[in-house]
Structure 1
Amino acid sequence: MAAPSPSARARLRAGLVAARPQALDDPRVHVSLAGLRALEGRARSLSFAPRQPARSAMNGRHASRLRGRGLTFEELRAYVPGDDVRAIDWKTTARTGEPFVRVTTEERDRPALIVVDQRMSMFFGSALNMKAVTAAEAAALAAFRIRDQGDRVGGIVFGDAHIAEIRPARARASLDRFLSSLAEANRMLAADAPNLAPMPLNRVLRAVARIAPRNHLVLVFSDFDGVDEETRRLVSTLARRNDLVLGLVSDPFAEDLPEGVSLVVSDGELQAEVNTADHAAHRSLREMTRGRLAEILDWQRRLAVPVLPLTSAEETVPQLRRLMGLAPAAPGAR
């Protein structure tokens, strides 16, 4: 009999299912560089442009609209009848006593930074994919589409003990480095990996602020494990200075925790067994997981940050299309 795959070992270690053989190269468990590159054709139907369909989650009632490319200041010049009065620079006008207008030009592109969580908390899946696979596929699709729109693409890929930074660039080589880093980080996830303290999400968000100080499109694909009040402040600051989109990756098991199973939970150093047959323990654990999801979803209202709720229980492309308000792709379409 074949040895259990990493996904089977992970669920077995958590006490969720019995061991059963499974292919070690199952794309639902680990992504490959070739598999990520194969998504390029399917990315063309998506759009991360400022103008979104009415039903898009990035154009919702509570979400801020994507602002698109910024404006570059060129010069101040004297006002000429017919100039747009909204362009008047009132500070210069007040100082000189003569009307002046600010001349700006639209930036040629809008750099994008795609942040992908590949920590051990993402190495879980109860239905179709591991959460890490869903995040990786969504990030690759975004990278392909944004570059195809003519914008520079970079990214941050992080696991529990490593972080890779790829600064936004137009060259295809930059995109390839991002995809390679993503595939490498994903392949490092394994049920028998050493127990490590997880990389703090706040450390990653501070790196985002350093690389993308303003006027970037920033997409974060994560389960947002370990959020706190500082996380909310960092997200709020990033959203004020950039176009920020959060891809909240979850699994239906966490949303509807079954009763009567034994779970082994760990903070990277200590382990404890939780029996959900205990009604109080089941209620506390369910409220904790649901509370984190609800908090991130509420940032859309409180912080005006678009949130794309992604699930590991569905294929990535169809749900991204649905979240962007697009019709389902025709059968067999690429």
Structure 2
Amino acid sequence: MGRHLNRAIEHFGTDTRDLLEGGRYALLHTRTTEFDDLRPYIVGDDVRDIDWRATARSGEVLAKRFVTEKHHKLLLVADAGLNMTALAPSGETKRDIATIVMGAVGLIALRRSDEIGMVYGDVRGSVHVRMRRGENHIESTLERYYVHSGGNVDVSDIRTQLSYVAETHRHRLLLVVVSDEPDVSTELRDVLTGLTARHELLWVAISDMPAIGAEAGEAESYDVATGRIIPDGAALGPAVLAAYRRAEQQRAVELDAFFRSCGVPFVRIAASAEIRSKFVELSEAYRNAAR
């Protein structure tokens, strides 16, 4: 495997059983040649599937049923803007964690022979990688995202990518969104409402390293979107630091409530080491949402 899928294996492992299962999204049922059992013939069945010997013995027309393979259609929707160049709490860049997260989705797709594609970009627009199967396709898709997100990117706006998907993808898909923690807004709710009416949707947010709170003498933070320096916690004082932490806690509560109200399973990931456990959590939420 290539470097991106190998990094996904390092942090996620190779056991993909029961992960991202249980939804109602588009399945392509492909009949294999492996015999399963017999069932009563139904008008419209292929007459070549009738088991004439079993029919003669039972007095009822019986048809052979074969094992069915289920192939899924997956679309990764990824923020490739400035926000993904920032650091996560682990000290890794959010772009690095996002690539590993999408590599984990790729490993799940490989095991099931799923079709997988990607839409990524920033406020200026979106790049669309069409759906295909296979290891080489997944690895090259991850490489395209990684190179693009490390280049000349603009301000992040995941709504741009979501709106593009809403306009261009009409058939039911499983959408896995990978971004930073978005701001709650009426505009975001509107685009999610349109998407969830047609598609299954899961959201993985890569958490931000706290903007302030560094001890005196540590490197000051800066806003990747504006380039402005953010003073450290010692310079701002304990009252400002406490107010900032309360505001961040409230923002997290509101974001969780927002995704629940939209019916979108949602997890935060702060480090590559969390990816496996967070996928288990996301998969459980997805199964529960589908019931």
TM-score range, shorter chain: 0.5 to 0.7
Q: How far apart are residue 317 of structure 1 and its match?
A: 3.1
Amino acid at match of 1:185: H
**SS class of match (1:109):** strand
**SS class of match (1:314):** helix
In structure 2, distance between residues paired with 1:46 and 1:158: 31
In structure 2, distance between residues paired with 1:202 and 1:264: 26
| 1:217 equivalent in alignment to 2:182 | no
> Cα gap change, 1:125/1:297 in structure 2, threshold over 3 Å: closer, same or farther?
same
- In structure 2, which of residues 16, 19, 35 is the aligned counterpart of residue 45 of structure 1? 16
1:150-181 residue CA offsets vs partner (Å, 9 max, x unmatched)? 32100123257674211222355542331221
- In structure 1, which of residues 279, 290, 298 is the aligned counterpart of residue 249 of structure 2? 290
Q: How far apart are residue 269 of structure 1 and its match?
A: 4.4
| 1:305 equivalent in alignment to 2:268 | no
- C-alpha contact (below 8 Å) 1:201/1:226 kept by paired residues: no
- C-alpha contact (below 8 Å) 1:246/1:307 kept by paired residues: yes
Amino acid at match of 2:269: L
| 1:249 equivalent in alignment to 2:206 | yes
Match of residue 330 from structure 1: none
TM-score after normalising by structure 2? 0.66
> Cα gap change, 1:126/1:107 in structure 2, threshold over 3 Å: closer, same or farther?
closer
The worse-fitting range, judged by mean Cα deviation, of 237-246 and 121-130 is 121-130
> Cα gap change, 1:292/1:236 in structure 2, threshold over 3 Å: closer, same or farther?
farther
Amino acid at match of 2:189: R
> Cα gap change, 1:267/1:126 in structure 2, threshold over 3 Å: closer, same or farther?
closer
Match of residue 181 from structure 1: 144
Structure 1 residue runs of 5 or longer lacking an equivalent are 1-32, 52-65, 73-81, 84-105, 189-193, 326-334
1:84-141 residue CA offsets vs partner (Å, 9 max, x unmatched)? xxxxxxxxxxxxxxxxxxxxxx996331101222333232134353222222101111
> Cα gap change, 1:278/1:165 in structure 2, threshold over 3 Å: closer, same or farther?
same
**SS class of match (1:158):** strand
Structure 2 residue runs of 5 or longer lacking an equivalent are 30-41, 44-67, 285-291
Identity %: 16
Match of residue 258 from structure 1: 213
**SS class of match (1:268):** coil
In structure 2, distance between residues paired with 1:45 and 1:259: 38
Match of residue 197 from structure 2: 240
**SS class of match (2:16):** coil
If each structure's strand is expressed as a fraction of its own residues, which one has the higher value? 2
- C-alpha contact (below 8 Å) 1:159/1:199 kept by paired residues: yes
In structure 2, distance between residues paired with 1:166 and 1:313: 24
Aligned residues: 240
Q: How far apart are residue 186 of structure 1 and its match?
A: 4.5
TM-score after normalising by structure 1? 0.59
Match of residue 15 from structure 1: none
Q: What is the RMSD computed on CA atoms of the aligned residues?
A: 3.6
Match of residue 130 from structure 1: 93
Amino acid at match of 1:295: E
In structure 2, distance between residues paired with 1:159 and 1:121: 9
- In structure 2, which of residues 48, 51, 74 is the aligned counterpart of residue 112 of structure 1? 74
Once the two structures are superposed, the pairs formed by residues 31-70 of structure 1 within 5 Å of their partners are: 34-39=2-7, 42-51=13-22, 66-69=23-26
Amino acid at match of 2:213: P
- C-alpha contact (below 8 Å) 1:209/1:238 kept by paired residues: yes
In structure 2, distance between residues paired with 1:108 and 1:126: 38
- C-alpha contact (below 8 Å) 2:81/2:154 kept by paired residues: no
Match of residue 199 from structure 1: 156
Amino acid at match of 1:35: R
